[in-house]
Amino acid sequence: MPGLERYRNRDEAGRELADAVREYAQSQPFHDPVVLALPRGGIPVALPVARALGAPLDLLFVRKIGAPGHPEFAVAAVVEGDEDIVVTNPDIADGLRLPQGWLEQGRLRGVEEIARQRARYSAGRERLPVKGRSVIVVDDGVATGTSLFAAITALLREHPRDLTVAVPVAPPDTLARLADTVDHVICLLAPRHFQAVGFFYDDFHQVEDDEVAAALAQAAE
């Protein structure tokens, strides 16, 4: 969108992103598309995208495994899939002396939390299959992309027909890495001076469980 520098909220970002994805699909049609959102912030953005494509919406669960004493410093991530897998960040994990069993303990915690979230949000609906389909992964923005890259690694093992990442905002270096990893990247804002995803939203409140469940119910209807 010409002149766009920030978003009022995730709903506006989703509508703008949906227009861009719809326009892209006119020249590069998707095959049996499915939209996957990273919870929780990706859900309000992904709902308009799914509606624009007439595609089903599901969640793509990723749980970080933090470093000892630094839980937000991800050394690996657990990703939901046909089998829940752990994707490590070798640039970080190889340089740390992780306690024995650290990754396995993190995996168990992650799998437990993913199961809780799946039950809470999806109301018993089965996870959507992705094999042979066009998969569009949506989040409210990307910074370093640690969780997103882990999710992509896991998704590729399930053999989608093609994989697209669609986000409202991301830094240029992360977008370059994504372009080397997936088939298509759609991003509306790529500021050189990137601080944090929330900096580009007037309203960047934490999305609550009820909002996620409601959005999924709307998509299912």
Is 118 in contact with 81 (CB distance < 8 Å)? no
Identify the residue with better confidence: 210 or 49. Answer: 49
Is 22 in contact with 53 (CB distance < 8 Å)? yes
Average pLDDT, the chain: 89
Pick left, alpha or beta for residue 23 (phi over 0 → left; psi -120 to 50 → alpha; otherwise beta).
Answer: alpha
The token pair at 217 is 């119910």
The token pair at 215 is 């959005």
Query: Does residue 20 carry a pLDDT above 90?
Result: yes
| pLDDT for 150 | 85
Q: Which of 36-45, 90-99, 131-140, 211-220 has the lowest mean pLDDT?
A: 90-99
Q: What is the pLDDT of residues 122-153, one digit of tens each?
A: 776 778 999 999 999 999 999 888 788 888 98
**All domains of the chain in start order, with CATH:** 10-60+128-220 (3.40.50.2020), 63-121 (3.30.1310.20)
**Mean pLDDT of the region 80-95:** 74
**Which residues, at least 6 apart from 120, have a Cβ–Cβ distance to it below 8 Å?**
209, 213
Q: Is the dihedral of CA 164, 212, 63, 67 positive or negative?
A: positive
Helix (H, G, I), strand (E, B) or coil at 88: strand
